[in-house]
Structure 1
Amino acid sequence: MFNFTFSLRDLEFFLLIVVRITCFIHTAPFFGMTNTPVRVKIGLGVLISALVYQTLTPVHPEYSTVLMYAIYVLKEAVTGIIIGYSAAVCVAILNFAGHLVDMEIGLSMVSLFDPVSRDSVTISGTYYQYTVLLMLMISGMYQYVLAAIIETFNLIPVSGAVFNSDKILNAMLTFLRDYLALGFRLCLPVFAAMLLLNAILGILAKVSPQLNMFAVGIQLKILLGLGVLFLTVGMMPGASTAILSEMKKMITLFAEAIT
């Protein structure tokens, strides 16, 4: 049963839980989309916080001034933001790969307005992003994302976060390394096809100088690039698995960096 009897100290403890979870929801992938109403995010954060509160033993923060309590609130907010950010940055790999693909096939100047992110995005980046988000929903990865922030309360007690700059830096460097590797893995088929096409066009330009290979090459690159994207649809589940594994790894690294 829910315990609705709150003392002032219990309420202070509960508010710290709300701050961490709500900040996490605002930055986490899928949950933190800009088109999601703020009231929905806050309501979901409060609901999850109420459930989490029932499973935790209250550890009342010790403070003597309002400023000290504000520092606790700030620490919980930063903790939630870091954990959510560690999951969100993995989705940024998709936009990176999409930009590389569009540069190769000649669509880098084409941008679309994404009503979700309210920003200009590339065609390939949008394709990769929504495909992986769909995989995230189908595979139940969103449950892991929520379970991760809940589990942090066992790893990082309320008001007990200690930020280790060295570990955070190492986590960021690890992410950047894997970020580039995964991004290039996603666009490698298009890169290989474009390399082969450029070699063929170069040979034809030498054999028949009168042909305008530049004009022909632009159209062929677009057709071949879109064709390769179509043929590599079957690779997306594997790519999604790699990105979701990277997301788990990053959440763990950043959580350990603030214990």
Structure 2
Amino acid sequence: MLGFGLAIEPQLWALVFVMVRIGAAFIAAPVFGAVSIPLPVRISLSGAIGVLVLAVHPVTPPSAVFGLATFMSVAAEALIGLSIGFVLQIAFAAPMIASEVIGTSMGIGFASAIDPQNGRSTPALGQFLSVLMTLLFLSVNGHLVLVDMLVRSYAVLPPGGSWLAADRLKDIAFFGGYTFAAGLMLALPVGFLLLCLNLIVGMISRAAPSLNLFAVGLPASLAVGVVALALAMPAMGDYMLVIVQEGLDAAQRLVFG
């Protein structure tokens, strides 16, 4: 009996309880949380990983389904899963910040498209950088690292009221500051060249006031921006790998301390 006269198989109840943390992490994490992934796929994947967790770690769910202790335990599991996925999602926001800086300087900030990760309208350049970072995340087996982290988190943070400490929640907030710094560093090569171009155009406008800046400055900014992106893409790709690694390290520090 698990409350209100309901009977359920203990193994099934344990699997559902384990799936809460895994499913919450997949909702907030990049790649797994993309709107293009159907909900049945996420549920099936959470159940498959939950079976592995039950085979490795002895998880004892609350005895009553409808009880205050059960609701608190489920909330704690959801908080842990959402925190793990949210840290990685924060790291994936760095290319969007860089695209805003570069796109505004190039004059293509108005160009937008639907982001396949979240289903919202984002700058076209930001979508390109986001897809590139997703491919780099998969190339370094970041999705496998996330799954391994979720499985091992049950040994460090056992279910049943294992709330995250205040210092770990503070680390999540401070990691958001790193995202802004990383986004600016990612946009630095192209942004610096566009800043130099704007200074040159400004000096030309002072020397020749009759010159139409919109007829000269906008095409020049677009051309210089495209060339600078092509030249700086290898360095930007390397730094995206650093951002991915920092996100994975932050998630591991969140779980393992």
Mapped contact 1:21–1:49 kept (Cα < 8 A) = yes
Distance in 2 between the 1:64 and 1:193 partners? 61
Q: Tell whether the 8 Å contact from 1:29 to 1:87 is kept in structure 2 after alignment.
A: yes
1:62-77 paired onto structure 2 within 5 Å: 66-77=67-78
Structure 1 residue ranges (4+ consecutive) displaced by more than 3 angstroms after TM superposition: 7-12, 58-65
CA deviation after TM superposition for structure 1 residue 26, in Å: 1.6
How much does 1:65 deviate? 5.9
State how far apart, in whole Å, the 2-side matches of 1:139 and 1:245 are: 9
Q: Deviations over 1:141-192 (max 9, x none)?
A: 211111111121111001141232343123312x122112111111001111
Matches for 1:68-147 after TM superposition, within 5 Å: 68-147=69-148
- Choose 67-76 or 117-126, whichever is displaced more: 67-76
**1:254: Cα distance to partner?**
2.9
Give the structure 1 partner of residue 226 of structure 2: 226
> Shift of residue 62 of structure 1?
5.9
Q: Name the residue aligned to 1:4.
A: none
Could you tell me which amino acid in structure 2 is paired with residue 118 of structure 1? G
Partners in 2 of 1:215 and 1:158 — Cα distance?
Answer: 63
Quote how far apart the aligned CAs of 1:10 are: 4.0
Note if 1:169 corresponds to 2:170.
yes
Contact kept, 8 Å, 2:99 with 2:126, in 1: the verdict is yes
Kindly tell me: are residues 224 and 83 of structure 1, through their superposed partners in 2, closer, same or farther at Cα, counting changes over 3 Å? same
Inter-partner Cα distance in structure 1 for 2:176 and 2:27: 23
What secondary structure, in the 3-state scheme, does the structure 1 residue paired with 2:211 have? coil
Structure 2 vs 1, CA of residues 141 and 167 (structure 1 numbering), >3 Å: closer, same or farther? closer
Q: Find the aligned partners of 1:40 and 1:167 in 2 and give their Cα distance.
A: 30
Report the CA distance shift for 1:195/1:65 in structure 2 as closer, same or farther (over 3 A).
closer
- 2:242 paired residue number: 242
1:204-242 deviation digits (Å, cap 9, x = unpaired): 222222211233101111111111111112113311221
Does structure 1 conserve the Cα–Cα contact (< 8 Å) formed by 2:34 and 2:116?
no
**CA contact 2:87–2:172 (8 Å) conserved in 1:** no
* Number of aligned residues: 250
Please tell me whether the aligned partners of residues 87 and 250 of structure 2 are also in contact (alpha carbons under 8 angstroms).
yes
Q: Secondary structure at the match of 1:121?
A: strand
Query: Residues 112 and 120 of structure 1 are in contact (CA less than 8 Å); yes or no, is this contact kept in structure 2?
Result: yes
Q: 1:170 to 1:51 in 2, by over 3 A?
A: closer
Pick which of 183-192 and 109-118 moved more.
Answer: 109-118
CA RMSD of aligned residues (A): 2.0
SS in 1 for 2:160: coil
Q: Which residue of 2 aligns with 1:153?
A: 154
Q: Which residue of 2 aligns with 1:26?
A: 27
Mapped partners of 1:177, 1:26: distance in 2: 23
CA distance in 1, matches of 2:216, 2:65: 74
Unpaired runs of 5+ residues, structure 1, are: 1-6
What is the letter of the counterpart of residue 105 of structure 1?
M
SS in 2 for 1:112: strand
Deviations 1:1-35 (A, max 9, x none): xxxxxx84444332221111111112111011011
Structure 2 residue aligned with 1:40: 41
Per mean C-alpha deviation after superposition, the further-off stretch among 126-135 and 137-146 is: 137-146
Contact 1:98 1:125 in 2 (8 A): yes
Q: Structure 2 unaligned segments of length 5 or more: list them.
A: 1-7
Aligned to 1:181: 181
Question: Match for 2:182: what amino acid?
Answer: L
Q: Tell me: CA distance 1:60–1:26, structure 2 relative to 1, closer, same or farther (3 Å).
A: closer
Flag the 1:180–1:146 CA change in 2: closer, same or farther, 3 A: same
Distance 2:96 2:232 in 1: 17
Distance in 1, Cα, partners of 2:15 & 2:249: 28
**2:53 matched residue in structure 1:** 52
Percent of residue pairs identical: 24
